[in-house]
Structure 1
Amino acid sequence: MSASKIVVRRIPFAFDEQIDPVWHPVRPEWSHMVNGASLAMPYLEPFLIRTVTEALRQVKDPLLAADARAFIGQEGVHFQNHRRYNEILKRSYPELAGVEAEMEADYARFQARSLRWRLAYTAGFETMTMGITEWLIHQRALLFGDADRSVASLVLWHMVEETEHKTVAFDLYQHLFGGYWPRVWGTLFAAWHVARASRKGYRAMLKRDGRWTDWKSRRALWAMVGRFARHASPAILRSVSPSYHPSRVRDPDWVDRWFEAYQGLPEGRIPLLDTADPEIPARFST
């Protein structure tokens, strides 16, 4: 049996039960944008896992099958950590349970779609994460500097691993189905759908905080949404090229440094980054 180079890191992130949901005190709107995305993960990622698991039964290539199993392992650890954090969020924002119910219903409906449709959605979402990863890493000082290190470390670890398995969903789709236009539709629809689901979450939190109707807060929110769109859009646009393959996209150097730092981490240690350091280097603090 072929072995994948993708590593399943079973990291049990620990969150302070009294953690402030505004985990970046200077950027509350950004805090809730990330919180809204986190809220989607325990519904989105099990859907991706079910889709890849079903596709795996038809895969003949042993290396692709090994990568798919590693993809499933990584995504499983991701959503479990996000769920742990989300449970703390919901203590301050009980209305988020309603947002979760809507997401659960969406993915239940999607589960009835064809495997081809679901794989196109999966490959599309994974494409969008590449642009987000580039943005988060290149602008990590702005986005995570002096923020709660457990949340910052959770998000950046998640995106590093998205980079590690960036080819899997795309290769599965191409291996089993192919077809240009369904892939393009999956990319555009997944980007829209996940952004919409995340927005429902952060809108609910900003409303409870009294920020949704505050013009200064709304201006800061739209500025951050604009930053997100500017940096995620290039990944989406380049992916609609007929010759696109995610392996041709160069990863940020910081990703490799994160992997190197993790290899030297004592067993059982959570990879917490030092957000007080202006550079937020890829090394882990105690």
Structure 2
Amino acid sequence: MNAKVNITNRVGASFPVRRMNFDFDIVPEYWMNGSAGLTHFMTALSALFPAGEKFFIDSVRAVRQHPAIKDNEALQKEISAFIGQEAMHTHEHVSFNASAQKYGHDVDTLDRYTDKVIQTTRKFMAKVGKPVGITQEMVDLTATTALEHFTATIASELLRNPHIQALMTDQTMATMWAWHAIEENEHKAVAYDVFEGVFGRGYKAYALRTGSLTIAMVILFITQSYFLARLLKQDKQLNLKSLKEIYAYAYSPSKGIITGMGKEMLAYFKPGFHPNDLDTVGLLTTWKAKLGF
């Protein structure tokens, strides 16, 4: 594995914080099966993470001292580990994005766009919701809860789908995405447990979390698709060949990573849903052994 790994669990949470150090300087330009289309699809996804994961951290931190959860020692330890893992994800994706930037792919601009989309949307939703008692903290935490479900779901699909894994032909990138996927599933319930602890499980909480997921998925799809098209166009790779490869990878009914997420994404709309209802314990055990964690 092309990374130095320092595993810590000093906060006593149920999952550790792994401090990674990938060497992205040796990653080729088109690291995913030599395909510009597939590489840019994943780069467009990676461009969402630095600003997105900072938003997740800020949203959970903003409410961790809420009276309903501040004395919950176990949950506070999980929050600390969640913040640690997300901070490491941000660090490594910033490093990867910088390596893509060196090849002339303008990921820096996409990162700034991501932050602008997040800040504009969260402020707008808080303004719209204010008359019915929806605060900025509620908007931020429900959006984080929804997006954490998305990241955990796409992560588990990546770990389950052999077609996707076979396309990740560069070992550094394959390991980076597998590590990220493992940790997204390890901490998938933290933001949700914070949300339930603060806002409960009533009708209003259900409407908030499901409405947030619907809105977040629309914005995420539009943003990532725009990033992908922009990267392809700048690289003069916006052509039928690239689009066919992207369709087969992401959206084909039989093996697409996005279409494969459908059932688990819809589970979020079930009343009484909890992220741990989607059992990934065995999957994570297998992959942690593969990566030597």
Into which bin does the TM-score normalised by the smaller protein fall?
Answer: 0.7 to 0.9
- Post-superposition offset of 1:283: 4.1
Letter aligned with residue 242 of structure 1: P
- TM-score for the superposition, normalised by structure 2: 0.82
1:7 matched to 2:33:
no
1:249 is aligned to 278
Letter aligned with residue 219 of structure 2: H
- Post-superposition offset of 1:55: 1.4
- Post-superposition offset of 1:220: 2.1
CA contact (8 A) 1:137 1:156 kept: yes
- 2:193 is aligned, of 171, 175, 184, to 171
- Post-superposition offset of 1:147: 0.9
Task: Using the TM superposition, name which of 108-117 and 178-187 deviates more.
Answer: 108-117
1:87 is aligned to 98
- TM-score for the superposition, normalised by structure 1: 0.84
Q: 1-side partners of 2:47 and 2:168: how far apart?
A: 23
Partner secondary structure for residue 206 of structure 1:
helix
Q: 2-side partners of 1:63 and 1:283: how far apart?
A: 28
Letter aligned with residue 153 of structure 1: T
Letter aligned with residue 5 of structure 1: S
Partner secondary structure for residue 9 of structure 1:
strand
Equivalent residues in 2 for 1:10-29 (5 A)?
A: 10-16=19-25, 19-29=27-37
CA contact (8 A) 1:71 1:168 kept: yes
1:30 matched to 2:35:
no
- Post-superposition offset of 1:124: 0.5
1:109 is aligned to 120
- Post-superposition offset of 1:194: 2.8
Letter aligned with residue 191 of structure 2: A
1:68-88 deviation digits (Å, cap 9, x = unpaired): 111001000001000001011
1:215 matched to 2:240:
yes
1:201 matched to 2:235:
no
1:44 is aligned to 52
Task: Using the TM superposition, name which of 191-200 and 247-256 deviates more.
Answer: 191-200
Distance 1:147 1:176, change over 3 A: same
CA contact (8 A) 2:53 2:90 kept: yes
CA contact (8 A) 1:110 1:118 kept: no
Q: 2-side partners of 1:177 and 1:124: how far apart?
A: 14
Q: 1-side partners of 2:286 and 2:106: how far apart?
A: 39
Letter aligned with residue 165 of structure 1: H
The number of residue pairs the alignment matches comes to: 261
Partner secondary structure for residue 196 of structure 2:
helix
Distance 1:246 1:12, change over 3 A: same
Letter aligned with residue 245 of structure 1: H
1:77 is aligned to 88
- Between the aligned residues of both structures, percent identity stands at 23
Q: 2-side partners of 1:258 and 1:225: how far apart?
A: 22
Partner secondary structure for residue 12 of structure 1:
coil
Letter aligned with residue 250 of structure 2: V
CA contact (8 A) 2:53 2:87 kept: yes
Task: Using the TM superposition, name which of 37-46 and 108-117 deviates more.
Answer: 108-117
1:113-136 deviation digits (Å, cap 9, x = unpaired): 411111111110111123212221
CA contact (8 A) 1:133 1:163 kept: yes
- Post-superposition offset of 1:191: 2.5
Q: 1-side partners of 2:223 and 2:179: how far apart?
A: 22
Q: 2-side partners of 1:205 and 1:43: how far apart?
A: 18
Distance 1:2 1:136, change over 3 A: closer
Q: 2-side partners of 1:135 and 1:27: how far apart?
A: 21
